[in-house]
Amino acid sequence: MACNTSNTAMLSEIKDLLRHFQFREVLSDDTSSKTIWLLGTIATTNVASVVDEPVVPGHNAAIVVLERLAFSPQTIAKADCSFDSVLLATGERNDVYAWATGDARAAALKPDVRIALIYPATQKHIDKHRRQQRKWVCETPELYAKVTKPFIDSQPTSRIQWVYNILSKQVESEHIVFEDPDPECGFVIVPDLKWDAANTDNMYLVAIVHRHDLRSLRDLTSNHLPLLNNLRSKAAVAAQKYDVSSDQLRLYIHYQPSYYHLHVHITNVMLEGKGMLAGRAHLLDSVIDNISNIASDYYQRATIPYVLGSSDELWSHWTTHQNLSSNEPSATTT
């Protein structure tokens, strides 16, 4: 009962924030995932609507993400999939084939949209979700030491406080799917915010390590193989909760990651997405093999290519470095 009460209060708070959202612009959209990112403000006064209030990052700026949800065969099979109230706008028919657009208004298809909110949104949040040019970077160990590592070192701990809140169970403790509390080889596994936790074909979990000294792929050595192997085996245990077997799992690490605290993405192989593309995703099996069989310090010696957005903070550090040493080829525009 307490959990339901807490959830009701949280939904009421989210609804109230969304009610005060004032749209300013479309940051970007993705037709493949049927997602759109909207920038606006949430009034900082008691007035319900402040139309002309300027967007101030870190203060009143808000990003609303709207995503069309995938159909759930399980839900449709259990519900009355009736189209008695269907509203059609346009359509055609040719022989035995007919198609139309409209609102199905079928209970079995609800809810049909997922709404995410980032508030207050910082400039980094806005830049991350704004449509921008993509840049291809080939990061050598030397360039990592000169450009990327100083950038990572400069990041304030406050940016990943939400990660520490999960690890300490201050928030989302009820969402933890699996935990190994060992301080060296342990981690928590939680559903990723991008997953609706309903369609198992789209299962998306994230394992966040308890160690605070591992920030990215570059930090991993043979000393961390017990952690990586432990995570790989326990991920299969966590996935069993959703009836997803070990041979249906894809585990990978992003480089560059969206936040600098080591975490591993755990998805159903049925799920496809941009986060799994070359230039960002490194399969955990390959990571373990590279360290085990090629070199214990493989990721300190390797050149790692990746993609950055032109508005990314790290890209500005790369351009500064290029300006200082223009004779050193390091990045190109794609």
Nearest to 35 by CA among 65, 5, 14, 62: 65
What pLDDT, on a 0 to 100 scale, did the predictor assign at position 333?
46
What pLDDT, on a 0 to 100 scale, did the predictor assign at position 197?
84
What pLDDT, on a 0 to 100 scale, did the predictor assign at position 334?
45
- DSSP-based three-state secondary structure for 321: helix
Give residue 261's identity as a one-letter amino acid code. H
Average model confidence (pLDDT) for the chain?
89
* Alpha carbon distance 36, 38 (integer Å): 7
175 is catalytic: no
254 compared with 84, residue with greater pLDDT? 254
* Alpha carbon distance 61, 130 (integer Å): 14
> Looking at the predicted structure, is the pLDDT value of residue 44 above 70?
no
pLDDT digits (tens, 9 = 90+) for 97-136: 888 888 877 766 667 788 999 999 998 889 889 999 999 9
What pLDDT, on a 0 to 100 scale, did the predictor assign at position 69?
80
| 149 and 83 Cβ atoms separated by less than 8 Å | no
Provide the β-strand partners of residue 138: 305
Nearest to 216 by CA among 160, 271, 171: 160
Q: What is the mean pLDDT of residues 158-175?
A: 94
Q: Percent of the chain, pLDDT > 90?
A: 63
| 39 and 91 Cβ atoms separated by less than 8 Å | no
| 98, HSE (Cβ side, Cα atoms, 13 Å) | 5
Residue 273: pLDDT band (50, 70, 90) is: confident
pLDDT digits (tens, 9 = 90+) for 191-250: 998 888 888 999 999 999 999 999 999 999 999 999 999 999 999 999 999 999 999 999
Specify the residue for token string 């080939």.
Answer: 138
Q: Would you give the DSSP letter of residue 225?
A: H
pLDDT digits (tens, 9 = 90+) for 83-92: 777 888 888 9
- What the block records as the tokens of 1 is 């009962």
Q: List, edge to edge, every strand of the sheet that includes 204-209.
A: 178-180, 187-191, 204-209, 263-268, 249-254, 281-283
* Phi and psi torsions of 249, nearest 5°: -105, 140
Listed in sequence order, the residues at least 6 apart from 219 whose beta carbon sits closer than 8 Å to its beta carbon are 213, 262, 299
How many residues does this entry show for the chain? 334
Catalytic residue among 261, 263, 265, 282: 263
- Cα 323–chain centre separation: 32
pLDDT digits (tens, 9 = 90+) for 19-34: 999 999 999 998 888 8
Listed in sequence order, the residues at least 6 apart from 36 whose beta carbon sits closer than 8 Å to its beta carbon are 26, 28, 29, 30, 65, 66
